[in-house]
Amino acid sequence: MEIMTLQTNQRNQFVDITDKIREVIKKFKVIDGHIVIYSPHTTSGITINENADPNVLTDMQKKLNTMVPPHENYTHLEGNSDSHIKSTLVGNSVQIIVENGQLMLGTWQGIFFCEFDGPRRREIWIKLFT
Amino acid sequence: MEIMTLQTNQRNQFVDITDKIREVIKKFKVIDGHIVIYSPHTTSGITINENADPNVLTDMQKKLNTMVPPHENYTHLEGNSDSHIKSTLVGNSVQIIVENGQLMLGTWQGIFFCEFDGPRRREIWIKLFT
Amino acid sequence: MEIMTLQTNQRNQFVDITDKIREVIKKFKVIDGHIVIYSPHTTSGITINENADPNVLTDMQKKLNTMVPPHENYTHLEGNSDSHIKSTLVGNSVQIIVENGQLMLGTWQGIFFCEFDGPRRREIWIKLFT
C-alpha cells in the first residue's frame, strides 16, 4: 500500500490528485489490473469528475453546502456533522481500471480528494491489484 | 477491458444494462472474482437499484432534479453543472461479486447507467478480475 | 463468498458491522488484498464513517430524511421510494484494503449497514480478494 499525504488549506476544497496517482502506477509498473484510492478519514471524500473547468468543482462545493449546510440543529458537538454527511454522500474511495500500465480515465476525468473539514493534513491510501 | 456503447435519448435517463453485463461474464467464462463497471464520463453515473417497478427510477430522477435543479446560479458556462454534481452524488462505478460464473445480484437488483446530460453516445468500461 | 445476516428493528437504522468484518478476515487468513462488502438489497446501503460518537449517525439519518422525505408525490406504490433513493445516494457497497491480515481502516472509521426500510431481515455479502 502506498500512502500519499497532502495538506489542505480551506474548510471545503477539492484537490486534483490525478498526476500523483499516475506516478504511483508508473513506479509499480503494473500492467493490468485496477487501483483502489481510499481516504482513511471520515470528513473527506474521493470523487472522479471534470478536470477541465474548475468552475465545475466550485459549483459542486456550493451545491453540497446548500444541501448540507454547516450549521443546523446537529447533535454532534464537534461542529462538523456536515463534513461527515458529505463524506458518505460522495464516498470515501474510488476504483479505476489499469490497462497496459495506463490509468484508464475518460478524456475529461480527473481524480479529486474532497476536503470537507479543513485545513488538515490528510492521507490517501492507494493499492494496486493485478 | 470490454467497452459497451449505448445511445441515450433524453437529458435524464436510466438505462438497464444488467443483461449486457451478464453477457460479458458469460463470454469470459470467469468462475470466481468480481466485476468493475465504470463510466468514463463526468455527467453520468452507474447505480444498482430496483429492477421491477420502473416508477422507482422515475421517482429517483424526479428527486435528483429537485435536489440538484438544472438551472441555478452556476458558474460553469456549459450549463450542465447539475449533471456533474449528480454524477458525483451517484458515483461513476460499481463492483459486483462473481461466483461460479454468476453475477451475484440480489433478487430485486438491476444495474443502471444513469444519463444526466443526454442525449449522448456513451461508453461503459467493464473489467473482470479473478 | 461469506453471507452475514442481520435483523434491523427500525425503519432507518445504521448498524456497525466492523467487528464482524474483522472476524471474516481472521477466518480466511488473507494476508494482502482487498475486501468487498456488498448489500444485495435495494433499500439499504453500506457506508464508512465515524465510529466514535453515535450522534454523527443520528445527524446523518436526520439530514437524509430531510433531503429525501418519506412522503412526497412519489409514483412507486410500495411507499418506499425514499428508501430506494437513499440507497443510490449512499451506495450499496464499499471496498477496503487488507494488508498483513489487517483491515486497513482509518482511526475513526467504522463500517455501517444503513437500513432505510426496516425492520427487515437483511444479508450482507462479503468477498476477499488477494
ipTM of the complex: 0.96
More confident residue, B130 or A13: A13
Among residues C108, B122, B66, B92, the alpha carbon closest in space to that of A66 is found at B66
More confident residue, C39 or A29: C39
- Which residue on chain B is closest to A94 by alpha carbon? B93
pLDDT tier, C27 (very low <50, low <70, confident <90, very high otherwise):
confident
So what's the pLDDT on residue A130? 85
Q: How many A/B residue pairs have CB atoms within 8 Å?
A: 79
Contacts of C41 in chain B (CB under 8 A): 106, 108-109
- State how far the Cα of B13 lies from the Cα of B113, in Å rounded to an integer: 8
Q: How far is B32 from chain A (nearest CA, A)?
A: 15
Where in chain A are the domains? 2-129
Tell me if chain B has a CB within 8 Å of the CB of C127.
Answer: yes
Domain spanning A2-129 has what CATH number? Answer: 2.60.120.460
pLDDT exceeds cutoff 90 at C124: yes
So what's the pLDDT on residue B29? 75
Tell me if chain A has a CB within 8 Å of the CB of C38.
Answer: no
Contacts of A92 in chain B (CB under 8 A): none
Tell me if chain C has a CB within 8 Å of the CB of B95.
Answer: yes
Can you tell me the mean pLDDT for A94-113?
Answer: 96
SS (H, E, C) A98-124: EECCEECCCCCEEEEEEECCCCCEEEE
pLDDT exceeds cutoff 80 at A66: yes
Tell me if chain B has a CB within 8 Å of the CB of C36.
Answer: yes
Q: How far is CA C123 from CA A77, A118, B1, B49, in A?
A: 33, 36, 31, 16
Give C115's strand partners: C13, C44
Contacts of A96 in chain B (CB under 8 A): 38
Lowest-confidence segment of A29-33, A73-77, B71-75, C121-125 by average pLDDT: A29-33
Within chain A, what is the greatest distance between any pair of CA atoms?
A: 51
CB-count burial class (<10 Å; 0-12, 13-18, 19+) for C19:
exposed
DSSP state of B101: T
So what's the pLDDT on residue C31? 81
So what's the pLDDT on residue C29? 75
User: pLDDT (tens digit, 9 = 90+) per residue, C60-115?
Assistant: 999 999 999 999 999 998 999 999 999 999 999 999 999 989 999 999 999 999 99
Strands B33-38 and B93-99: antiparallel
Q: Is the dihedral of CA A77, A81, A83, A87 positive or negative?
A: positive
Percent pLDDT > 90 in chain B is 88
- State how far the Cα of B1 lies from the Cα of A32, in Å rounded to an integer: 10
Among residues A64, B109, B50, the alpha carbon closest in space to that of C67 is found at A64
- State how far the Cα of A56 lies from the Cα of A32, in Å rounded to an integer: 31
So what's the pLDDT on residue C47? 98
Contacts of A129 in chain C (CB under 8 A): 33-34, 129
User: Sheet containing C13-16: which strands, arranged edge to edge?
Assistant: C13-16, C109-115, C44-50
Per-chain mean pLDDT for chain B: 95
User: pLDDT (tens digit, 9 = 90+) per residue, B78-94?
Assistant: 999 999 999 999 999 99
Q: What does the DSSP assignment read for A52-72?
A: S-THHHHHHHHHHHHHS-SSS
Cell of A36: 483502489
Q: Are C37 and C16 in contact (CB under 8 A)?
A: no
